[in-house]
Amino acid sequence: MTGVRCWRIASDGSGEEVVPSGADPASWGAPGRLAWVHVNCAHEGARAWLEAATLDPLVKRALLAPETRPRCTPHGAGLLINLRGVNLNPGDEVEDMVSLRMWVTADLVVTVQLRRLMAVSDVMEGIARGQGPEGPAELVARLALRLADRAEPVVAGLNERLDALEDAAIDGRTMADRRALADTRRVAIVLRRHMAPQRDALSTFEIEEMPWISGHNRSRLREATERMTRLAEELDAIRDRAQVVHDQILDARSEAMNRQMLLLSVVAAIFLPLGLITGLLGINVGGMPGAEDGRAFWIVAGGLVVLGAALALWFRAAGLLGRR
C-alpha cells in the first residue's frame, strides 16, 4: 500500500521489506525478527489503513494526533515517544519541524509521519544495505541520531549567519542587517522550543525499565540525548548572541541620533544670537544707530560673521563640534 512500508529486521541487521498483511500487528512480523511499520500519512489511504489496524485505541489516537510535542510515555508493555526533525522539504521553512510519532514494543515499532522526513529515509537505506538495528530500542536511537545529524547543519548555518551579523555590527554596518538578525533569532527560538523537550523524551526512554532495552541500547540513547542537549545549548547561545548584537544595533542607533541632535543644538545655539541681533535691527522705530550711514549694513554683516565664527570656535573648543 502506498504510504505504508513494513520492514522485517533480523538480529544481525539484515532486513527485508514486505507488504503488511492484514490489520493485525501480529501478522506484520516474523519469528525472531523485529517488525518496523512506517506510515506516511501524506499519502492517501495510509491514515485509513492505520485507523483500521487492531492497535490499542489510545496508541492510535497518539499516533494520529494532529498536534504533538516531544514526549515519552509508557503504556502497557510499550512506549509512546514523539520526536521532531527539521523540515528540509523544498519550499518549507526549516523551523517548521516535522513530527515523528512512535509506538515501540519488544518486537514491533510503528512510526507515523505527516510529512516527509529525511532522517527516516536515512535509516531505511541503512537497512537495505544490511545495516539494520539489532532491536527496537536501537532503532529509536538510530532515528534520534539521524534527526540530530539533519539538524546539526541547520544550527551550524545559524551560527555562520550570526558570525557575519556580529562582524557587520563591529564594522558599523548594522542598519541593513536588522531583518536578517531578527529572522536568525526567531529560527533559533523555534528550534530550541522543540529541542529541549526532545532531549527530555529521549532521556525518559533511556531510563525506562523495559526488558528489551539493553545496556548497549541505553548507551546509544544516551549519545542521542547528549547530541540533542548540545544542539539545545548551541541554540541558547545563538539566541543570547543575537540579543547582544541587537543591543549593539540599538546602541549604535542611539549614538547616531544623539550626535545628530547635538549638531542641531549647536547650530541653533550659533544662530540664536545672530537672529536676536538681526531681529533687533529690523524694528521700525526711530533712533536706530547707523540708519543714515551707508556703511552700517556692511559693518553689521561683518560683525555677525565674526560673532558666528567666534561662537563656532567656542563650541569646538568645548568639544561640542568634535575634537579640538
Unique residue bearing C-alpha cell 541500547: 217
Say if residues 208 and 128 touch (Cβ distance below 8 Å): no
| Angle in degrees, CA 69, 71, 75, rounded to 5 | 125
| Residue 225, burial from CB neighbour count under 10 angstroms (0-12, 13-18, 19+) | buried
Walk along the chain (324 residues) and give the pLDDT tens digit of each residue. Answer: 568 888 888 877 788 888 776 777 777 877 778 889 999 888 878 888 888 888 889 999 999 888 888 999 999 889 999 999 888 877 778 788 889 999 999 888 999 998 888 888 889 888 888 888 888 999 999 999 999 999 999 999 988 888 888 887 777 665 557 788 888 888 888 888 888 889 899 999 999 889 889 888 899 999 999 999 999 999 999 988 888 888 877 777 777 788 878 877 877 877 787 787 777 667 555 566 766 677 777 877 888 788 888 878 887 777 666 554
| Residues whose CB is less than 8 angstroms from the CB of residue 34 and which lie 6 or more positions away in sequence, other chains included | 8, 9, 10, 11, 107, 108, 109, 133, 135, 136, 139
Q: How do strand 71-75 and strand 78-85 relate by DSSP bridges?
A: antiparallel
Which residues on adjacent β-strands are paired with residue 35?
8, 108
Three-state DSSP state, 102 = strand
Domain boundaries, the chain: 4-251
Alpha-carbon distances, residue 318 vs 4, 18, 206, 263, 323 (angstroms): 80, 87, 70, 13, 9
Residues 132, 14: Cα–Cα separation, whole Å: 6
Distance CA 312, CA 303 (A): 14
Residue-level pLDDT at 172: 66
pLDDT for the residue numbered 324: 46
CA–CA separation, 32 and 12 (whole Å):
11
Pairing of strands 34-40, 108-113: parallel
Cβ(208)–Cβ(74) below 8 Å: yes
Four-way CATH pick for 4-251: 3.40.718.10, 3.40.50.10800, 1.10.730.10, 3.30.460.20? 3.30.460.20
